[in-house]
Structure formats: C-alpha cells, structure tokens
Amino acid sequence: MAFMTKVEYEAYVKDHASSVVNAEDIAHIKIALQPLIGVQFHILSIPKEILLAFEPSQIGTIIGTLMDACIPQLSKITESNTFDTVGLYKNEGILGEREGYPDYLHTSGKRLELKLLFVDNPNVKMKKPPTPREPSARLTGKVTFKNIQADKDLLLVIAYALMENRAKPDFFSPTIIDFDVFPIYECILARDRRMYASHGGWFGQFETPTILSKQGKRKMNLCQPVDYSSYGRKENEGKDLNEDTNFGKLKRIPYGPLQEYIKPAHFTVFFEK
C-alpha cells in the first residue's frame, strides 16, 4: 500500500470534483430538523448528587458511547418519536456496521452523517478537570472521497447537554440544545488538506491517514529526507510516519463555518437563566 502524495491527492480531488449541497437546500433541511431541539433522552437520567463525582468529559464519553450505539434506533430512546417525524430514517447499510456511512437518509434525498457534540452545562455542578478536554466527536477516515456524494451528503452536528429532566426534578438527562448542518465535501477537504499541510497523508486509496512521528519531525527539522514508504502504529516502531489516531476530530477540521459553530462561546446563550 503506497503513500498518496499531495500532488496525487489534489489530482484525485480535481478529477472527482462535484457540486456541493447549496445553501438553499441546507436551509430547508434545517427547517425540517428544527423539532429536534429540546428532545431529551430519558434512557439516561442521572441524579444531581452523582454528577459531582464526574468530570464533564467522563459524562460526555458515557453519553456519546450510548448515543453512538443507539444511532439506528434513536427514536426509541427519546421521549417522543421526533426522529421519525422530521424526515430522518436510518440508512440500512449501518446495521451491523458500527462505522458505516452515512448514518441517516432524509426524505428530501439528502444523506446525513451524524456527529454528537457534548456541551458542558455551566449550571450543573461537576468535578472540573485540571485542563480542558478536547471533544471526541470526529469525522473518521471511513468518510472519504470514495464514498461521499457531494451533492447529497451533509454533516449533521447535534449539540447536546445535561439538562434537568422535565419529568424527574433533580435528575439530568442528555438534551438536544442545538444543531447545524455542513457540506461533507467541504469538511473532508479541509480535514485532508490539514493532514497534508502537516507533512502527513493517506496510504493507499484513502485507506489509512498518517502523520509525522517524532522521528519524522526530527528529520524534517534537520532537513533530512522523510521515509514515506511505510508507516507505524506506535512510536516505538521507528517509522517516520504513524497512523493518525486523532484524525478527523471536529476541532481539528479547519473548515471555518464548522469551527465557528463548535466554539464553546457559541452555546453560552443556551444556559443563561
């Protein structure tokens, strides 16, 4: 499996260029999905006192894992059948495939890949970490120019937070507070170009994303040639490139509209009393 150079990557992108979903279609999708805001996931209700023992990132991991596993049946774990009434229905291709693509189809003909963004509710008392944790949501290497349809595919980022359960006072449940929609094409193009700008790149036909290892960075700093013939999975393998285990994290995708949306400051208004 050979390394795909930056020149080869850009040539592939040029040869497979396609029109992306336009702003009007995105606006229609957002109107259709508006009823999702405020939906609570009652499958998980956490007593206020217990939350004091957890960091936000720990709760985010628990909830994210639960939501991720339940993606094919989200309507069955919410307080209503909202997911079935906004035109979303699961893509049958994901059954049995945890990393299948895309997650949802929409009655408009668009296809949506869902990413869940945990937002820390400042009004909920929890253990505070010594340093801020990076959100784990990511657009993984399973989503590439090989399997997207640029004129149909969208990234649906659903922001959720722990809010007081409307049916159980002093219990908190994951609650959708906001969402936004972005063209998948623009997101993966920004994601991949960032990787190449950092002297990494794809191995094979979009098979494995790689970054410079510590050894590779030293060589680069010393103006020595980097070996792009193979990659490792761990630093101790002595390769100049390693598989990028943080590839596609939303915070690391330099697509302007996405970065503006996921900034913590964007969500403060949702918690004002």
Average pLDDT over residues 62-81: 69
Q: Tell me the pTM.
A: 0.90
**Average of per-residue pLDDT values in the chain:** 89
Other CB atoms closer than 10 Å to residue 249's CB: what's the count? 17
> Token pair for residue 168?
């159980």
Distance between CA 248 and CA 158 in Å, rounded?
A: 17
- Is residue 198 situated within a structural domain? no
User: Which pLDDT score is estimated for 99?
Assistant: 60
Q: List, in order, residues 6 or more apart from 256 with CB less than 8 Å away.
A: none
Query: Which tops the pLDDT comparison, 243 or 127?
Result: 243
Q: Are 172 and 62 in contact (CB under 8 A)?
A: no
- Is residue 225 situated within a structural domain? no
Write phi, then psi, for 124 (nearest 5 degrees). -100, 125
Distance between CA 151 and CA 142 in Å, rounded?
A: 19
- Is residue 42 situated within a structural domain? yes
- Is residue 120 situated within a structural domain? yes
Distance between CA 97 and CA 120 in Å, rounded?
A: 30
Q: Are 36 and 83 in contact (CB under 8 A)?
A: yes
Report which of 155, 176, 201 is spatially closest to residue 77, judged by C-alpha positions.
Answer: 176
Domain containing 60: what range? Answer: 17-183+255-271
Low-confidence winner among 18-32, 71-85, 97-111, 253-267 (lowest mean pLDDT): 71-85
- Is residue 230 situated within a structural domain? no
Please write the tens of the pLDDT for every residue from 220-263: 999 999 999 999 999 999 999 999 999 999 999 999 999 999 99
Do strands 153-164 and 111-118 pair parallel, antiparallel, or not at all (unpaired)?
parallel
Percentage above 70 pLDDT, the chain: 91
Q: How many domains does the chain have?
A: 1
- Is residue 212 situated within a structural domain? no
Please report which confidence band the pLDDT of residue 95 belongs to, taking 50, 70 and 90 as the band edges. very low
Distance between CA 258 and CA 182 in Å, rounded?
A: 7
Average pLDDT over residues 130-140: 82
- Is residue 3 situated within a structural domain? no
Q: Are 204 and 1 in contact (CB under 8 A)?
A: yes
- Is residue 97 situated within a structural domain? yes
Average pLDDT over residues 106-128: 91
Residue 80 has pLDDT above 70, yes or no: no
**Helix, strand, or coil (residue 106):** strand
Residue 268 has pLDDT above 70, yes or no: yes
Residue 70 has pLDDT above 70, yes or no: no
User: Which helix H or strand E contains 260, and what residues bound it?
Assistant: helix 256-262
